[in-house]
Structure formats: C-alpha cells, structure tokens
Amino acid sequence: MYTLNASKSTTNTFSYLCAKNISIIALSRKQVSMPATRSISHYDLDAFFVSVECRNNPRLLGKPVIVGGQERGVVACCSYEARKFGVHSAMPMKVAKRLCPQALIVSGDYENYSKESALVTEIIQSKVPVVEKASIDEFYIDLTGMDKFHGCYKFSRELKQTITRYTGLPISFALAANKLVSKVGTNEVKPNGQLEIPFGDEKGFLAPLEVKKLPMIGEKTGLLLNQRGVKFVYTLAQMKLPMLQQLFGKNGTEMWRRANGIDDSPIVQYREQKSISSEETFGSDTANLRFLEAEIVRLTEKVAFDLRSDNRLAGCIAVKIRYGDFVTEVKQRSINYTNADDVLLDEAKKLFRALFTKRMMLRLVGVKLSQLIPGNYQVSLFDDTQEKIKLYQSIDSIKAQYGQSLVRRGSSFF
C-alpha cells in the first residue's frame, strides 16, 4: 500500500507512480490503495505413472509405454512417444493397442504411485507454506510476496530441480497471477518445461490458444464453439457475455472470464484427510437382517460418492455395529486402492455378515473408509471397462446436481 498526503508534493508523487507503471485505485486526502497481485505456480508431474515405471526400468525410456488394464480395461497413462500415435488417457485398451501395436503395456502399481506422490508432496511442503494438492500429480503453490526476498520464478525453478533431484521424476511448472493461467501454461511447456507469464500478460498469453485448452471446455463444448466459428481463445474473449449466457447458461459467464484470463479462485491448503465415514442410529433397535443390509448398502454408496467427489481412493474399509446394550464392535479389511461402489459394497457386506453373528438388536451401523490417497479416477484404473467408467461418471453427475438420494441401488431400499 502506498500513502499520499494531500500536499504540494502530491502532484509530483502521483506523476512518479504513473511513470513507474503503478496503478492507482483511489486518491484521497488520506491514502492511495494499491491492488494486490498474486504469484501462483502450478506444478504437474509429466506422464506421472509412466515416469515412475521408466525410472524403475530404464529400458522403457524413449519407447511408447502404456500403463493400464488388459483388453477390456482403459489407458491410465501413456508416454509422450505413445501419444504421437493418438493414444490418450481413458481410451479403451483395445483401441490404444490398435493405434500403437508396438506399445509396451505395463499393468501399473497404484500403491507405489501414491508413495511417490507423497514424497513429492513432502518435498514441496518442506519448502513452501501454502500448497494445494489438486490430484495425485498436480500442485498449486502460492508464492505471493516472494519477489521481495528471493524471486518467485527463481524459487519455482529451484524447487523443480529439487523435486527431480530427489525423486528422479520430470516435472513441469508455470508461474502466473492465478491458478487458471498457470495451469494452462504448464500444459503448454510439458514435458519437463518451465514458464513465467508476467502479471498483465494473462489475456495475451491465452489469446492464440485453441479454446479446448481452457479448463472446463470439453469435447462437446469445444465442438459447439467451433461450429459457431469460435476456435481460438481470442475470439471467445471478444464474444458478448449475454450470447455466451444464452448458449451455456451460468457456465457461459465462467467461460468468458477464463477466456479473458480472470480467475480469483483461492489456493485451498492441502490437509491430509485420514478417513471418510457415515453411520446411522436407528429410532428403535432392530435385528431385521434385510433392513440392516439395506442400510449398509446405502451408507457405503454415500461414503464411496464422497470419496470420488474428493478425488480419493481408499485402501481400507471398516464396518461398525452397536448393540442395544451399547457394546460396539468393528471389523476392517485392507483392500486394493479403489473408489468403486461395487468393490466397496462387496467388502462392506462381507464385513457386516462376519460381524453381526449374535443376532441381537442393533441401534447403530456405520461404514468407514481409510488409508486415503489422491486419485481422480472414478473406478479401478486397471480392471474396469470404459462403459463402467462412463456409468459411474453419469451417476455421480446426477448425484452432484440433484442430490445423492435421487439415484440409489435397489438393494439400499427396504
């Protein structure tokens, strides 16, 4: 904040600030308030799963590599060499193999990827006070004010070198005034790149890019824009806001803001969540097995949806019961990392049947997921089909928009 006293020197001071390209928001007898600018670095581990596999097995370096399931599975990650053939994440494996028959297929080890992600997180947290872990391989870091002491870009570059030195994994970053522009910048310089977009250049940086490179503009939205002659961000930024609102509703406003490089979303500081749970205390004690199993299904669906909404996977599931005399028992089981309803439901039912052996009246049942790790995939990465992934995505989309109670399994009703 700069302060100007209303005196003879005011005019000279004002001219000095203007000469230094300092924007003046308000001039009064007391002070001139200056706008705060942010410095946000976005880091993204390049082809993360593949990079881990190549580091562990150098013979894979420079070759088309696909990490994913078998014939009916999907591509979890692929190397840049494989991408040249049109292979991409979430593509059915049979299509990927047809596009790139010489690709080397690796089944993958999600637990190992989680450990590598945790190591990168630990390195970043040891260096910066505020970090948002957006996914298993993606981070936002708030470096606002660092220029006064060290230099934001210099610090970002040194942090990138530190991560690679300690993990052996390539990582890219971009530094900008907000999360949106820094993320787009990172995507433009991958793999193993670095970039600084100076404050005030956000709109100019985005302008020549294709609209599909803006987050939130998917294939269908991009096609709709292209059909209307909007191929580049520059054109989208010039469109009238009412027209975009008419075409896309509330999303039209956000699309216009993003096309103009405007994003005030905050850094959500990373906190390690230990578990997700849900339980139900009944109005009256019951031993009705059908009702109790229906409750287990309902509670498991709820925690599984919460897990997917938080972009997480669970490695342990527990079921709790409490008898009418307040005696509480819990059983838990380690599982392969997942957030899929069908896998979690199967385990929850097994645990409940093994736990509820006394056939006494119960007053409470609960389901808990723990050993959480980041993971933004809706179902098991390596075993499920593309059809199954689309089913989960559609169900979750309906639940997120209209509430979880709108779509439920029949077995959750009694």
- Decide: 104 and 66 in contact? Cβ < 8 Å: yes
Burial class of residue 102 (count of CB atoms within 10 Å of its CB; 0-12, 13-18, 19+): exposed
Written as six digits, the tokens of 361 are 């009246």
Q: Is 293 a catalytic residue?
A: no
Residues 53, 138, 295, 301: which is the catalytic one? 138
Place of tokens 């705060």: 36
- Decide: 46 and 168 in contact? Cβ < 8 Å: no
Residues noted as catalytic = 138
